[in-house]
Structure 1
Amino acid sequence: MAVSKGAEEARNHLPELLDAAEKGRPTVITKRGRPVAVLAPIMAYSAANRQHPLTPLAGSGRGLWGPDSAQTLRDLRDEWSR
């Protein structure tokens, strides 16, 4: 569960908040009572921004466009021009 701190308090206690983040505890930083930022462990950030390979998806759309995908695309384009 994230702890909430005002901007001034977060500024004054930054070393403690960094220690808490190192231990896996995020902190929500507020400004005038509104949440504006999160100080979170880097693991959470890197996991959310990790790129995933596309190779497991190869072939997953096979059959989606029918036996002739070029014709299906032409039909769809024609549908918009009517």
Structure 2
Amino acid sequence: AMPIGAYEPTLMMQSTHMNPEEAVQAAIDVQANKTLAIHFGTFDLSDEPLSEPPERFEAAAVEALSIEDAWVIKIGERRVF
């Protein structure tokens, strides 16, 4: 699972939070077989819009990974792996 939210403003948040592209790179770096986006959209903690993290994560994952291996799930949705 990779945290993808609460990354703006970058100067304040970068020491404790990843942006979506960094999360995809981290999944690649650890050679993850599956990647699940977490830590976004629940609370308005930072400057990015709540809808932005999953959109950016999916776009970065399409470029770098097989989209079947990078998941953004909705509330109540589950995946078996």
Quickly name the TM-score band, shorter chain normalised: under 0.3
Q: Which has the higher helix share?
A: 1
Larger Rg belongs to: 1
Q: TM-score, length-normalised on structure 1?
A: 0.27
Which TM-score applies when normalising by structure 2? 0.28
The structure whose residues are more often strand, as a share, is: 1
